[in-house]
Amino acid sequence: MVLRAPGTFRNWYVNVETPAVRWAGGLDADDLEVDVVAGPDRRCQLKDVDEAEAANAAGEVRDEWAARARSEAEQAIADITKGVWPYDGTWTDFRPDPSWPVPELPANWNQPVPGYTGAGLL
């Protein structure tokens, strides 16, 4: 484990998920389990591949979504390795203005989207 000074860039984290669906309360998307973590040196690591495979095997994620998750993770790794925006380092030193208020979630933030079926995962 590499120790870094507080406030310094640690890594990019790519959470592979379905496209977001807008509704009155905001946006919803489903996590496809696969994640990519890449440090400042752009070395990438896939995370939770075993969970993604288990979800697919259990029928929780259809084959086409499992394949898309793998493809999206591979594309993220290629982009990170090449330094394509947003992985070009542009925002690695961003710090929010300390005077900004901390946003609050709306009361209905976790209500299901009417008619949303998980973007066809099953």
Is residue 106, in this structure, part of any structural domain at all?
no
Domain range enclosing 63: 8-88
Mean pLDDT of 6-17: 92
Each residue's pLDDT tens digit, 88-103:
999 999 888 999 999 9
Is residue 52, in this structure, part of any structural domain at all?
yes
Whichever domain contains 62, its CATH number is 2.40.380.10
Is residue 35, in this structure, part of any structural domain at all?
yes
Is residue 2, in this structure, part of any structural domain at all?
no
Q: For residue 21, which phi and psi values (nearest 5 degrees)?
A: -115, 125
Give the DSSP per-residue string, 18-79.
Answer: PPPEEETTEEE--EEEEEEEE-TT--EEEE-HHHHHHHHHTTSS-HHHHHHHHHHHHHHHHH
Is residue 119, in this structure, part of any structural domain at all?
no
Is residue 108, in this structure, part of any structural domain at all?
no
Is residue 120, in this structure, part of any structural domain at all?
no
Is residue 104, in this structure, part of any structural domain at all?
no
Enter the DSSP assignment of 113: P
Each residue's pLDDT tens digit, 40-59:
999 999 999 999 999 999 98
pTM recorded for the entire structure? 0.79
Domain count within the chain? 1
pLDDT of residue 6: 81
